[in-house]
Amino acid sequence: MLAPSRVAAAATTAMFIFAGASAANADTIADSVNLGDNGDSGAYWGVSEVGWLYTPASSFSLSGIETKFSIPNLTTIEDRTVTVVLYQGGTPANGGTFLGSFAFNSALADNNTLGGGTFATPISLTAGTEYFVGFENVGPAADSTGPNSNDLGVNFTADSGATFLSNAYFDVSGSSTCNTGAGFVCEDTNTDILGQPILAFLEPSTVSTTPLPGTLPLFASVLGFIGLGARRWKRNAQRAA
């Protein structure tokens, strides 16, 4: 006889088997820039915010952004919360429209490890449209005692053959002209390595919801076992009455 508690347990097992073959969400890389390169180990960020213009070649739903920070030579690193912002049509100082943001701990992307985060809701990007990707709070930490102290490595590359994405736009704390509070008002126009960021643009990816063929017979047998056990329990309960 299969007691009610065992019927429930078997039902739970059946649902677990079926759920194991259900849909699972993940993020995959839809587009990238200099993903195979490493951050410049000879530099750390001296600016408080930095970002680049990005124009996708094809449309996709942007779920997140990842990058790589270098570990600068002879520099003390201080990890911190970095905020990634996305604008359409240019930098905020140039009239860009805010689309979304997320925050992540820079430790996830230290030492040239690809890391970052995701937006609360994916954002639709349109092919040929200009966007701006900015990173806030990358400059020397408040407790920095001078050069090479409590800094964050850069997320651009000096590797040979790297792709130039755009000029870098930035803010500098304490500057009389570039301290706008995340407006990214200043621009590096030298067309140099500062315009070679390491970026991965993510999109949602859904695994098929169709159960694997091998799980179907097992699922059916468990359901049959539940039905048989329930009928036996009902008959025995009636006899006992």
Q: What is the DSSP string of 196-222?
A: -B-EEEEEEEE---SPPTTHHHHHHHH
Q: Output the pLDDT for position 223.
A: 45
> In sequence order, what are the residues at sequence separation of 6 or more whose Cβ sits closer than 8 angstroms to the Cβ of residue 71?
41, 77, 110, 111, 112, 153
Q: Using pLDDT thresholds of 50, 70 and 90, give the confidence band for residue 239.
A: low
pLDDT higher for 197 or 6? 197
Q: Output the pLDDT for position 72.
A: 86
Does the pLDDT of residue 227 top 70, yes or no?
Answer: no
Q: Using pLDDT thresholds of 50, 70 and 90, give the confidence band for residue 188.
A: very high
Q: How many CB atoms lie within 10 A of CB 189?
A: 10
CA distance 75 to 88: 35
Q: Output the pLDDT for position 1.
A: 45
Question: Using one digit for the tens of pLDDT, what is the confidence trace for 136-184?
Answer: 999 888 777 777 778 899 999 999 999 999 999 999 877 777 876 768 9
Angle, helix 215-240 to helix 4-20, in steps of 10 degrees: 170
The residue-averaged pLDDT of 108-134 equals: 96
> In sequence order, what are the residues at sequence separation of 6 or more whose Cβ sits closer than 8 angstroms to the Cβ of residue 47?
138, 139, 170, 171, 172, 178
Structure tokens at 125: 């990007």
One-letter amino acid of 29: I
Q: Output the pLDDT for position 212.
A: 53
Question: Using one digit for the tens of pLDDT, what is the confidence trace for 61-106?
Answer: 999 999 999 988 887 888 899 999 999 999 999 999 999 999 999 9
Q: Output the pLDDT for position 199.
A: 98
Q: Output the pLDDT for position 205.
A: 86
Question: Using one digit for the tens of pLDDT, what is the confidence trace for 10-61?
Answer: 444 444 434 444 444 589 999 999 999 999 998 999 899 999 999 999 999 9
**Mean pLDDT lowest for which of 46-60, 184-198, 212-226?**
212-226
Percentage of the chain exceeding pLDDT 90: 57
pTM of the shown model: 0.76
Q: Using pLDDT thresholds of 50, 70 and 90, give the confidence band for residue 209.
A: low
